[in-house]
Amino acid sequence: MKLDVDVLRYLSKDDFRVLTAVELGMRNHEIVPTELIDRIARLKHGGTYKVLKNLLKHKLLHHDSSKYDGFRLTYLGYDFLAIKTMVNKGVFVAVGRQIGVGKESDIFEVAREDGTVLAMKLHRLGRVSFRAVKSKRDYLRHRSSYNWLYLSRLAALKEFAFMKALETHGFPVPNAVEHNRHCVVMSLIQGYPLVQVKHLQNPETVFETIIGIVVRLAEHGLIHCDFNEFNIMINDDEKITMIDFPQMVSVSHRNAQMYFDRDVECIFKFFRKRFNLSFQESIDDIDGSDEEGDEAVKPCFSAIDRSAGFLDKELAASGFTRKDDEDIQRFIEGGAETDTNSDSEGTDSVEDPNEADIIDGDSLHLTEEDKGHESQGKEENCEAGESSGSEKEEASDKEENNQNAMGNEAELVKSLSKQRQRAIAAAHRGRKTPASRNSYKDKGGRSSHNSKIQKQLSSW
């Protein structure tokens, strides 16, 4: 959908109030009911329905009455909300021409009050050319339900965070200015996409710079995943700037090596075809060793040192898990310990080269002395055996006494418990069970009369 900013001039506060009401309602509804929009907007005298009709005319809303009467935001209405917020913040005051279009976004020129030209990127996920967002991107993470506007907002937030972090670490990226909803404002790069460049003065230098950026990203814990000639900008001085960051993943991702090798292969393939850079193919020798060639020039993912930083941890990049965080903390804590212990281990491992000869000479003298003192050793061993035998007997006597004492205590406990049980049983036998309330009570019959006579006879 084409962005027509002229309509923005004629929209009133009530129009933006209704647009905001529809946006709030879309948090819980795919199609927001008209009654709900009216309750959220709170316009007087039923003005909501009149505003809805005006917004529908400018295609800022979409009307759906298949299940119930409701509305939803279009990308144009979402654009107007983001642009209005940016203008109110003073980020820019004018919107210019469209300078780029892709499968996930549109890019426009915007101008500040002082005349500075910036770039505004509007994310537009859900186009027909790229609908496999759920499988190709990790914006959803563990969410099951979504809409395209919300996914575009997540993509913009992620790109702004990556751009800010990479800029602080000295990477050649645009300067991130501001973001709101699905809109990201950044500095405008004065250059051209590398895919449009036909000739370079120093193609080898440019090639080495680009490969160095890929390796340096991996050393900081990130992989671009879409590093090709379409996402590399180059100016007249052959200075490189990389763009497009929402799809970046961590080096801990399960497919990290595949993404890294793919980025490297894209650069090699482009420079081989476009600028005729020759890379010698690897030739296998008989022994299996490879000569220096294409495989030797290509950076190896397993050989990358991650000591430069952990940007994937700071930005929670895709593939970075809690286990990786624990491993990093363990590595940082263990690094100091290994450094302090390395010196002591090194001093212990140093040995005198003449020490072995001295030990051999001493062993020869000891063998001769041992032959002369064998008899004395046997006698001493006998005496030591007798003394050790007496000590063993004393220890065994002590253990038997302790065992007897423990046995007596156990028997005493058993006897006391038996006596207690007998006393309880005798007490229960001596008690008479009280008659229940429901028991039969004799109310004066022949049986009761006979019982009285028997009592008198027994008393006599």
Residues marked active site are found at 226
Question: CA–CA separation, 56 vs 257, rounded Å?
Answer: 49
CB 114 within 8 A of CB 91: no
- Strand (E) or helix (H) holding 218: helix 203-219
**276's torsion region: left (phi>0), alpha (psi -120 to 50) or beta?**
left
In this structure, the dihedral spanned by the alpha carbons of residues 115, 118, 124 and 125, taken in order and rounded to 10 degrees, is -170
Whole-angstrom Cα distance, residue 426 to residue 342?
78
Token code pair at residue 42: 């709170």
Residue among 294, 136, 276 at smallest CA distance from 200: 276
User: In 298-352, which residue ranges form alpha helices assigned H by DSSP?
Assistant: 311-315, 322-349
Helices vs. strands in the chain: H and E counts, helices first:
14, 13
Q: C-alpha distances in angstroms, 64 versus 71, 319, 363, 422?
A: 6, 39, 100, 88
Query: Between vectors from CA 293 to CA 289 and to CA 297, what angle results, nearest 5°?
Result: 110
